[in-house]
Structure 1
Amino acid sequence: MPAPAGGRRHGPGAPGSLHTATAGPAREGSTVIARPTSRAAFAGLALTFAVVMVGTTMPTPMYALYQRELGFTPVVQTVIFALYAVGVLTALLVAGRWSDQLGRRPLLFAGIAFSLTSSVVFLLAGPLWVLLAGRLLSGFSAGIFAGAATAAVIEAAPESWRSRGAAVATVANIGGLGLGPLLAGPAVQYLPAPLHLSFALHAVAVALCGLLVLGAPETVRRPEHPSLRPQALTVPPEVRAVFVPAATAGFAGFAVLGLFTAVSPRILAEIIGNPSPAVAGLLTFLLLSASVAGQLLVQRAPTDRVLDLGCALLTAGALLVALAVATGSMAALVTGALVAGAGQGMAFTKGLAAVHGRISGDRRAGTTSSYFVVCYVAISLPVIGIGEASQLWGLRTAGIVFCLAVAALAVLALAALLELQRRETRMPAQR
């Protein structure tokens, strides 16, 4: 995503998006301040972004331990995970515009507070409701940071890094998400206090990051009368033809993310025969790394072609994961994670770009929020569904059906996009 020009408004974002900071023009009264920023402040904001996102995915390799210690069902496990998406959506819709009105730093401090509180709650984890509260708070922190931190990092980029500010924000975002399970997995498997040590270290790191934000400059001039209205959800008629298939592809991609971040430890343990938390963390890291690599590699490539490719890769990746679940193949599971991750990154970022390219700037914010709602529903409800289905049919059958459904959605999205592109190509000739 190109770095937005000064004075642009930075709308809500989501993990995985190179377009989280281009949701439309600045709202009346809010102004991005053009001022020189030190590399240390820029690096500090990027590091803070990454550290907060680390905390959102650390529980991935711990779910099996929580389930064993507390005795809850696979459905409850997926509900615990899905509450994270509820928190993200709530923060995006309620506070998505607040950093434009109140400034970046107040919202960053709020996100840090939620992240720190989430880690402390997990340290005290005992009753099930404590885990539910921890995941919800973690979602609040991610939802706030997705918009405010993306904008803050881009705006704080020194002149020599101005063109790479958006890429740095993306790497901090997705890199943090990937590092969470990668770091927590070995800690759970090899270090003492497997359900507490990671959160204790994260709480300390988040608190220290608060000092980095304290030393960073404010990049937004607060308007005299801030408007804190929730983000509106809209899909204008002129963009629905591309919104539906693009959002369908986004839904499929985020469903895959939900599968790997919530259910892959069970697949590894019960089907592949490898219950290692370290391996579970590595697998999720590979998926998210492929997602960010897919986005970074296609920044300047044609939107429609990359969106089509993303759908095709999502289809192939989902089928590979279905094969892995059916046969117990670790090689197919790793390959599927890499292919599906790259497809998710391409489909999500270029899907949003395709929608933005067909709509006026003053209507992008509400449409962008609608796009994110679809994606975050995909990271929650289907995962709860696979938890319920695994109790009725068994994990193998439920996993295969889930992956085939994802592949079917990606194929439908691709077919609709190709038809739309064909019609748009013919229209100038007919005129």
Structure 2
Amino acid sequence: MTGAAPFGRRTGWAGVSLVGLAFVVAMLGTTLPTPLYPKYAVQFGFDELVTTVVFATYAVGVTGGLLLFGHWSDQLGRRPLLLLGLALSALSAGAFLLPGALGWLFVGRLLSGVSAGIFTGTATATIVDLAPERGRARAGLVAAAVNMGGLGLGPLLAGVLTQYAPLPLRLCFVVDLGLVVLATACVLATREPVERARRPRLAPRALHVPPELRAAFTRAAVAGFAGFAVLGLFTAVSPAFLGDVLGQHNAAVVGAVVLCIFAGSVGGQTQSDRLGLDRALPVGCGALIAGMVLVGTSLAAEQLVLLVAGALVAGYGQGLSFRAGLGSVAGASPADERGAITSTFFVVLYVGIAVPVIGEGALAAGVGLVPAGLVFAGLVAALAATALVLVVRARD
């Protein structure tokens, strides 16, 4: 049979493109609040510690989504889980549109986290499933790029709308709801690549790392933890750094700066395959150290250019180390345990995106943003250096 595939049957690169667009929309929604945190702080009267706790609620949701729903798409099909993730994304936007209470920020962040937890694994698997057989490796890179691209576009979209359009705290979420509708249509237009299990097994999977993999897992996890801590810093605290330290209150500029770290991550992930796993992880650790030096210097010298450079370099290091670490862990895992081991790896990463940032917020409340930022940069650099030492020792 020839001609265009009917609605609901798109596969190949056409299907990849449709699911990729839905992936961008889902991840974009999770970072929309980033440039709005200073305005929320004024409206609700909270400090930097509360900002970081609101942000970290997202990581709790992601972890819960990964543990509870991460394997459901293997049992129930990819499309039902993608649609569930988009529904939760819409509910998250709705929570941010509700007026007047700090509690709705926590609800919105939790829902967006669960949505991201579902999409992170399910959309990646769907893209790989739908790609032509010879393009599976390329499809994996596409999935990683649209994931980070969506995360980076969220702050930029929200920043531009907040700065230059009416309804500064609400319009971006109205736009997001429209994008979710479009993303839903994209998912419905693709073919279901997985056959539903006759007896679905939906019980949560336990975190697990076999003893023979723990050394390699530790090296990858330490580097990944450091890289995701940097992502947490820029998506939770950079608006306060830019406003209170550098005097930059333009929300569009805040969004553009946050975009830089995710753009750097996409570049690092792209280069990871070219460097190979053995080189990408140590190079990524080195770039993370260099990026943290630039970030710390930018705070001490109050220089926006250095902060942007630090975001790009640290993002590049995060992308290299993340993709190399994930590749090494997944490649060394037994096929029947790969899902559980990979989920454990992602849980460590999302602990990294939340816990250090809360610590930074608590320290900032006591000693100020600049000293807290310098301590944070030093600790992340130390973690990256630890991972680098572990990699070098493993080679010897």
Give the shorter-chain TM-score range: over 0.9
- 1:7-46 paired onto structure 2 within 5 Å: 37=11, 39-46=13-20
Q: Partner of 1:316 in structure 2?
A: 290
Pick from 210, 233, 236 the counterpart of residue 259 of structure 1.
233
Asked if the contact 1:100–1:220 (Cα under 8 Å) also holds between the matched residues in 2, the reply is: yes
Report whether the alignment pairs 1:186 with 2:160: yes
Larger mean Cα displacement after TM superposition, 234-243 or 251-260: 234-243
Q: 2:370 aligned to 386, 396, 401, which one?
A: 396
Give the Cα separation in 2 of the matches to 1:287 and 1:113: 28
Aligned CA distance change for structure 1 residues 129 and 64 (closer, same or farther; 3 Å): same
In structure 2, runs of 5+ residues without a counterpart are 1-8
Of 206, 209, 234, the residue aligned with 2:208 is 234
Higher helix share: 2
- Match status 1:148 vs 2:108: no
Correspondence for 1:25: none
- Shift in Å, 1:290: 0.6
User: Among residues 34, 49, 52, which one is paired with 1:78 in the alignment?
Assistant: 52
Per the TM alignment, residue 163 of structure 1 is displaced from its structure 2 partner at its CA by: 4.9
Within 5 Å, which residues of 2 pair with 1:154-173? 154-158=128-132, 162-173=136-147
SS in 2 for 1:221: coil
Aligned twin of 2:335: 361
Match of residue 29 from structure 1? none
Q: Residue 331 and residue 36 in structure 1: after superposition, are their counterparts in 2 closer, same or farther (change >3 A)? A: closer
Aligned residue among 239, 245, 267 for 1:271: 245
Does residue 224 in structure 1 map to residue 161 in structure 2? no
1:63 to 37, 41, 44: 37
Equivalent position of 1:26 in the other structure: none
Query: 1:5 matched to which residue of 2?
Result: none
| Cα offset, 1:38, TM superposition | 5.7
Deviates more, 1:173-182 or 1:352-361: 352-361
Alpha-carbon deviations, 1:198-239, whole Å to 9, x = none?
000110110232122122111001121111121221121111
Offset of 1:51 from its aligned partner?
Answer: 0.9
**Matched position secondary structure for 1:371:** helix
- Provide TM-score, normalisation by structure 2: 0.95
User: Of 328, 335, 350, which residue of structure 2 is paired with 1:376?
Assistant: 350
Query: Tell me, what secondary structure is at the counterpart of 2:206?
Result: coil
Match of 1:198 in 2: 172
CA separation in 1, counterparts of 2:301 and 2:216? 37
1:109 aligned to 80, 83, 86, which one? Answer: 83
C-alpha change, 1:43 and 1:355, in structure 2 (3 Å) is closer
* 8 A contact 2:269–2:319 mirrored in 1: yes
CA distance in 2, matches of 1:212, 1:135: 24
Within 1, Cα distance between the matches of 2:145 and 2:218?
Answer: 28
How far apart are residue 97 of structure 1 and its match?
Answer: 0.4
TM-score (norm 1): 0.87
- State how far apart, in whole Å, the 2-side matches of 1:86 and 1:239 are: 26
The correspondence for 1:122, drawn from 96, 103, 117, is 96
Partner of 1:413 in structure 2? 387
Structure 1, unpaired ranges of 5+: 1-34, 423-431
Which residue is 1:30 aligned to?
A: none
1:57-116 Cα shifts (integer Å, max 9, x gaps): 111000000001111121111111000011000000111100000000110110010001
Deviation at 1:361, TM superposition (A): 2.3
8 Å contact from structure 1 (residues 95, 231) kept in 2: no
Counterpart-to-counterpart distance in 2, 1:399 and 1:36: 47
Q: CA deviation at 1:159?
A: 6.4
CA RMSD of aligned residues (A): 1.5
> What CA distance in whole angstroms lies between the structure 1 residues aligned with 2:209 and 2:124?
24
Cα contact 2:223–2:384 (8 A) shared by 1? yes
What does residue 138 of structure 1 align with? 112
Give the aligned length: 388
TM-superposed deviation, 1:161: 5.2
Whether contact under 8 Å (1:232, 1:369) holds in the other structure is no
After superposition, the Cα gap between the structure-2 partners of 1:246 and 1:42, relative to the gap in structure 1 and judged at 3 Å, is: closer
